[in-house]
Structure 1
Amino acid sequence: METLYRRLLKVMPRLGVQVTDLGPGTAVVSRRGGHARIPLQPGADLLARGTGRYSVTRAGKGTWVVLDKKAHKAAQTPGKWTDVRLGDTGAHLLMTEDAKADERRFQLAAGEYLCAQHVAGMLAAYEVNCVFDVGANAGQYAKRLRRFGYTGRIVSFEPTADAFARLERAAADDPEWQVHHFALGREETTQSIHTGWNSMNSLLPPSDYGRGRYKRFAKSQTEEIEIRRLDGVIEKALDGIADPRPYLKMDTQGFDLEVFAGGGERIADFVGLQSEVAALRLYEGSPEMSEAIAVYEGSGFGITGMYPVTREESTGRVVEFDCVMMRAEAATAKG
């Protein structure tokens, strides 16, 4: 005898509803378009709306790439994917021929991901509960922290008006994300900042090398901004945190050591830091990479990761690194 469930499945298409029967007691019901069931491997199927909308390409043993047809046409034809096993981690990297051909762009994209993943790991390992995001721009760094699972407090500092407006909007729905409309530096003062350089706005003028590398440096506007010391804002930033374990991220286009100097003795409170250090200086008066790292090491921080931010296309030389450093005794103190 036919069950009520089976009779309903037969009736529903007459009402303009599409039904895909997956087995006893299980069905997918849709008001628009038919569904196709595409076998991927034993015990795993792809259910796709429209029989011709998706394509499945084998990328290696036990690995398939599933693409919307529009994306597929823009990417690669079947068979052009390579499945790269990442050691014994269980992770795989899927690469197209284009990705392998553009080594520089691929390396930078991979470096950005690996840096974010490493920072997330360090924040968790050192039980960081407050990240000082200095040079926040529109909030890209803080949003990346959230995507990688960090749930603690973020305190962002951005001095330029346009970027701060975007930062404020980005943080509006996050109660654990504070934003401040000023810069941090060695002295409490006001100063003109070069603007119109997108995420590269700086308190320093471009170097000869910087002008040769970036056309955006040819034109500049200035904006008067407020600068405060880090040690003067720490207490308010950490208010309400019972056992503060702060982390200092600096991305201030050549001004990171000035921010660091403004921390005074309170730098000892930070369990880790992240600084953009320059192998090739884009800004006049910015410190060399070796100088910056020596200062950080002199304050008790040790390097845990170095990730290229930009590289010269013609020579392959790294222009800037994201340098991640932690205070080893902070990990030991955790037990």
Structure 2
Amino acid sequence: MITAFRDLLAPSRLTDVVDVGANPIDGEPPYAPMLSAGLCRVTGFEPQPDALAELQTRKGPGERYLPYAVGDGGEHTLNICRASGMTSLFEPDPDTLNLFEVLEPYGEVLERIPLSTHRLDDISEIEHLDFLKIDIQGGELAVFQNGRTKLADAVAIQTEVSFVTLYRDQPTMGDVDVEMRSQGFVPHCFAAVKKWPIAPYVVNNNPRWALNQLLEADIVYVRDFSRPDSLSDEQLKHLALIAHHCYSSYDLALRCVMLLERRGSLKTGAQQSYLETRPA
């Protein structure tokens, strides 16, 4: 039973997920298994009207979506690109896009509109934040830097990072990694890695068939479990649930259970109970 692990952990509340850039173009989000099982509630942010309308149409009882653009709290210009997934507060860089032939037309800016952004720390609708999923085409670092208070209780973050930047002045993976580590997070896994062929080379007449060039990735950071004293019992419980249900990281989940059992927060034998209920 999918709720067996939650029953074992008995957290005091549902896991609270915040999704910044909730545009559903990339399929199911990583927290979908928890959402469908009623183990979490989601607050999503999406400033693009068409994407927001689709989210509102599809949402279930555990979801709410707001039209805010999350960032540094300042006034910016939203660059509406031919491909909605490339719409960004950053200006596409034609020199970089030219390296990846198929991407170049997607980065064409069709419209520029003024946009007010909200600091994550200033959004009153977020009462708790356990798991942040974010993909806003280069704007992630500004969200982290202006959300340190809200993120202080978070245990997991899935963010898009760029190895080769497609926008002018876009932060790199290195910039994001430094910020994440400064806030007490460590890399856990790659949820997805995107490679792209360098123009003009084409494999089997398929301009999307990549060889080795890294472009972007969705990377998962978790609260540094090598320093367990910095995590409360409730944080360990939510981290265990996210690790188990969202990423099949049963080793991390078991580590959390072990720490909770050692603290006396779970009954003796909790580790064995978890091992007996997890998927083979």
Q: What's the TM-score bracket when you normalise by the shorter of the two chains? A: 0.5 to 0.7
Q: Is the 8 A contact 1:137 1:158 kept in 2?
A: yes
**Paired residue total:** 205
Q: Quick check: 1:319 aligned with 2:219?
A: no
Q: Match of 1:261, as an amino acid?
A: Q
Q: Is the 8 A contact 1:158 1:182 kept in 2?
A: yes
**Once the 2 structures are TM-superposed, how far is the Cα of residue 315 of structure 1 from its aligned partner?**
3.5
> What TM-score does the superposition give when structure 2 sets the normalisation length?
0.65
Q: Quick check: 1:201 aligned with 2:87?
A: yes
Partner of 2:247: none
**Once the 2 structures are TM-superposed, how far is the Cα of residue 166 of structure 1 from its aligned partner?**
1.3
Partner of 1:304: 188
1:161 to 36, 39, 49: 49
Distance 1:259 1:326, change over 3 A: same
Matched position secondary structure for 2:42: strand
Matched position secondary structure for 1:220: strand
In structure 2, stretches of 5+ residues that fail to align are 198-209, 237-259, 261-280
Q: Deviations over 1:168-207 (max 9, x none)?
A: 1121xx1210100021001243533333322221111112
Q: Match of 1:194, as an amino acid?
A: I
Q: Match of 2:91, as an amino acid?
A: P
Q: Deviations over 1:99-147 (max 9, x none)?
A: xxxxxxxxxxxxxxxxxxxxxx9xx999671111001113756655334
Q: Deviations over 1:196-234 (max 9, x none)?
A: 32222111111221244212113432233331110111x
Structure 1 runs of 4+ with >4 Å offset? 124-128, 139-144, 147-150
How far apart, in 1, do the equivalents of 2:27 and 2:20 lie?
Answer: 10
Distance 1:134 1:204, change over 3 A: same
Structure whose residues are more often strand by fraction: 1
Q: Is the 8 A contact 2:76 2:116 kept in 1?
A: yes
Q: Match of 2:75, as an amino acid?
A: T
Q: Is the 8 A contact 1:160 1:223 kept in 2?
A: no
Give the CA RMSD over aligned residues. 2.8
1:182 to 65, 68, 71: 68
Residue identity (%): 25
**Once the 2 structures are TM-superposed, how far is the Cα of residue 310 of structure 1 from its aligned partner?**
1.6
Q: Quick check: 1:170 aligned with 2:170?
A: no
How far apart, in 1, do the equivalents of 2:157 and 2:112 lie?
Answer: 29
Partner of 1:289: 173
Partner of 1:61: none
> What TM-score does the superposition give when structure 1 sets the normalisation length?
0.55
Query: Between Structure 1 and Structure 2, whose CA radius of gyration is higher?
Result: 1
Q: Is the 8 A contact 1:134 1:156 kept in 2?
A: yes
Q: Is the 8 A contact 1:186 1:260 kept in 2?
A: no
In structure 1, stretches of 5+ residues that fail to align are 1-120, 239-243
